[in-house]
Structure 1
Amino acid sequence: MNPKQKAERVGIIFLILLIVGGAVLLYRGNDAVALGVEKKEGILTAEQVKMSFDSVSGRLLKQAVKEGDIVKKGDVVMELDPTDTDLAIAKTKAQIAQLDAQIAGKSGRQQGSSQKADNDETQSFRQIDQQRAAVSAAAATLRNSELDYNRKAALVEAGAMARSDLDDATMALEVAQANVEQQQQLLDKLLSGAQDTGTTDGLALPTIAQERADAANIGNDITALQEQRRQLLVTLEELKVKKERLVLRAPEDGKVLKVLAKEGEMVSPSTPVVLLESQRSYYDIYLSEQQAAGLAEGDTITGTTVAGKKQVTGTIRLLTQAPSFADLKQSREKGQADLSAFLVRIYIEPTNGVQPGMTIGVNEREFAKR
């Protein structure tokens, strides 16, 4: 056999093998699309947390971490300058102390005023009782003077007594009448306009009522001061919360990926200053309608890392229709129609040797067995 014939035979054999291999692949469905349907892979991604100061701003006083540091939940990450807040807290505490002193002083005054009103009432009742007795005594003297005058007037009329003796009786009567009026005026003054019932039980003296009203007004002033104190206490608590927020702490365990603010810089509220990589990791895979039909959120899926072949157990947290770019198009030789794809997001527990960036594959058997 000459070389030309030998080359033609080798070429024919190679062509036959190529045709047979393509036919086998086509029959078995081992083209790129079929392989993509059989095995799904996704990149393990860690959730990232953007840390920022909550509703506070200021100059960054301390940067306690750097890129690559591992932090635990509650660790101090950054601190803002607390000088202004400390001064505001001290000022508020001083105002509260001042109000406490005013409240104590007015409380003492109110207690003294109430006691004075009680004492004045007791003393006034005693004086009123004494004056009532004086009025009664003056009235009795007046009655005696009237009797003496009437008796002497009759004697003078009968000529049995001299007119000069009647003049003395007249003068004594007039003095007795004036004394009654004087004693009654003194009693009215002690009553200060109150109606005399003849007894001090239930007697309401206007002057005593005014003293008690003044004591009650002091109580109103105390209530107003106490309300101001409560408002300052709320302000003080707000300042304490603000001071706590000046210290930024790690919300969870993780790794510092990037520090976005440096010591001495001004930091605005809610502006990210640290990018934290959490320990919550997930990977996404895209499934066809048939593969996703038997799955539900909360199901457990076992995948395998491409590097190291480690099995990783995860939980489906999200199962939803994927964007149109993930749909399976009519690209196969068999003329397969377009198929809608579903996005499956699988969260895994922290596993030794498995870290973000690794590829995890899930075999079609995981979906077929459901």
Structure 2
Amino acid sequence: MADIEPNFPDTDQATSKADARKAARKRGFLIFAGVVALVAAGVGIYEWIEGGRYVETDNAYVAAEVAQVTPLVAGPVRRVAVNNTQVVRKGDVLVELDPTDAKIALAAAEADYADALRKVRQTIATGTALSAQVGEKQADIARMTAQVQVAMADVQRAEIDLKRRQSLVGDGAVSGEELTTARNAYASAQGQLAAARANLAAAQAARGTANGQEAANAALVTGTTPETNPQVLAAKARLDQARINLDRTVIRAPVSGVVTQRTVQVGQSVAVGSPMMTIVPISQAYVDANYKESQLAHVRPGQPVTLTSDLYGDDVVYHGRVVGFSGGTGSALAVIPAQNATGNWIKVVQRLPVRVALDPHELGAHPLRIGLSMDATIDTRPEKDRSQTGQN
């Protein structure tokens, strides 16, 4: 009986299917490896082309030059017109102080100014009167001079008459009584001359006094008008200050922004310079991006920056420009700087704040608040390359 070989069709078919699956799996792995290789090559090419052209950081925060509101005059608070989170515009009334004391001070300054004007006008009028007195004293001197001349003539005439009579006494032509009369007349003329000279000296002294008074008075008003006199100007300055102090009892917003940190209350007595509230000008916000020192080799002022905020997510992209760099790293400018002059020093990569100015229109559409986190990416490519790609 011949041997019959057994036939196992099911076994051969299973083996074929297993081989096919292995082949398919191998092709799949090859395709996957090819895709991975292509992706890696693409990433490598991208990094080779674009690597170093963009520097990014998520260590960036919104900041702004906040305005602290403080009173410039002291007084009790009469009204507070705003609350925290309220949006105000520049010039809006924030706080009103009691103006009673300021109004009284203004009234006193107005009275002092009017009194100064009155005194200056009086001084000018006194100058006119003193000038008239000087003219009068000059006339007195002229009159006294004439009287001296008349008295000198009388002395000369009495002296001649006395000498003539004395020469006739020996001849008996003149009696003793006549001689005595002549002597008395001569003595009287000398006395009148002395009195006239004394009156002339007094008149000259009076003129000197009048001249001095006129000069002293003129020194107060010469070269000025009542409005430009120094005393009037000083009173006017005090009046202007009183008006300013009254105006300062109404405290207005120095900038447009959002009210924060309001501490003032109605009835509180505030001193000059005491903090009352802070206004954050959110329309003027900027970003301080803290880059590692190793990232800043190609960063320059003016380069474009794209930013996103955790507040709005990646759907809102802000555009800005590099303004400049801080004068020192964060650790160097800390309240207590790190002391590295020790034997246990370990090098730590430092971060330098980079100031980024934001587009005001984008800020208006999507307002930010100070302290919010930002992601910032700086395009460090040359300007001509950015122009060619339309990204300048």
Whether TM-score is above 0.5 comes out as: yes
Given the alignment, which residue of 268, 277, 280 partners 2:280? 277
Q: Deviation at 1:322?
A: 4.8
CA distance in 2, matches of 1:39, 1:153: 139
Q: Does 1:312 align with 2:324?
A: no
Fraction of identical pairs, as percent:
18
Given the alignment, which residue of 192, 200, 206 partners 1:191? 200
> Where does residue 171 of structure 2 map in the other structure?
155
- Is the CA contact 1:56–1:268 (under 8 Å) kept in the aligned structure 2? yes
Q: Does 1:351 align with 2:361?
A: yes
> Where does residue 263 of structure 2 map in the other structure?
260
Q: Deviation at 1:261?
A: 1.8
CA distance in 2, matches of 1:93, 1:26: 85
Gaps of 5+ in 2: 1-13, 15-21, 45-50, 223-228, 332-346, 384-392
**Root-mean-square deviation over aligned CA pairs:** 4.1
Moved more, 72-81 or 211-220: 211-220
Given the superposition, is the C-alpha separation of residues 212 and 71 from structure 1 closer, same or farther in structure 2, using an over 3 Å criterion?
same
Per-residue CA deviation, residues 86-124 of structure 1 (Å, 9 max, x unaligned), is: 111211221332343344444434432332232122123
Given the superposition, is the C-alpha separation of residues 172 and 348 from structure 1 closer, same or farther in structure 2, using an over 3 Å criterion?
same
> Where does residue 89 of structure 1 map in the other structure?
106
Given the superposition, is the C-alpha separation of residues 286 and 141 from structure 1 closer, same or farther in structure 2, using an over 3 Å criterion?
closer
Q: Does 1:56 align with 2:66?
A: no
Given the superposition, is the C-alpha separation of residues 132 and 286 from structure 1 closer, same or farther in structure 2, using an over 3 Å criterion?
closer
Q: Does 1:246 align with 2:249?
A: yes
CA distance in 2, matches of 1:48, 1:174: 106
SS of equivalent to 1:170: helix
Q: How does 1:1-370 map to 2 (within 5 A)?
A: 39-41=56-58, 45-47=62-64, 49-150=66-167, 152-156=168-172, 161=173, 165-192=174-201, 205-216=204-215, 229-278=232-281, 279-297=283-301, 299-305=302-308, 307=313, 309-320=315-326, 322-323=329-330, 339-352=349-362, 353-356=365-368, 360-363=374-377, 366-367=379-380
CA distance in 2, matches of 1:117, 1:294: 87
| Letter paired with 2:360 | P
Q: Deviation at 1:154?
A: 5.0
CA distance in 2, matches of 1:308, 1:263: 44
SS of equivalent to 1:261: coil
Across the two proteins, how many residue pairs are aligned to each other? 318
Q: Deviation at 1:135?
A: 2.5
CA distance in 2, matches of 1:317, 1:102: 60
CA distance in 1, matches of 2:165, 2:124: 61
Given the superposition, is the C-alpha separation of residues 229 and 285 from structure 1 closer, same or farther in structure 2, using an over 3 Å criterion?
closer
Given the superposition, is the C-alpha separation of residues 74 and 128 from structure 1 closer, same or farther in structure 2, using an over 3 Å criterion?
same
Per-residue CA deviation, residues 245-300 of structure 1 (Å, 9 max, x unaligned), is: 32222222222345332333222332322222212222343434443111123x23
Q: Deviation at 1:177?
A: 1.3
Gaps of 5+ in 1: 2-8, 194-203, 325-336
Per-residue CA deviation, residues 191-236 of structure 1 (Å, 9 max, x unaligned), is: 237xxxxxxxxxx82232133334455567889xx76555444433
SS of equivalent to 1:192: helix
Q: Deviation at 1:132?
A: 1.1
CA distance in 2, matches of 1:350, 1:318: 18
CA distance in 1, matches of 2:357, 2:266: 36
- Is the CA contact 2:80–2:95 (under 8 Å) kept in the aligned structure 1? yes
CA distance in 2, matches of 1:93, 1:82: 16
CA distance in 2, matches of 1:125, 1:102: 34
SS of equivalent to 1:355: coil
CA distance in 2, matches of 1:133, 1:241: 70
CA distance in 2, matches of 1:338, 1:109: 84
CA distance in 1, matches of 2:169, 2:367: 134
| Letter paired with 1:317 | V
- Is the CA contact 2:148–2:197 (under 8 Å) kept in the aligned structure 1? no
> Where does residue 199 of structure 1 map in the other structure?
none
Q: Deviation at 1:303?
A: 0.7
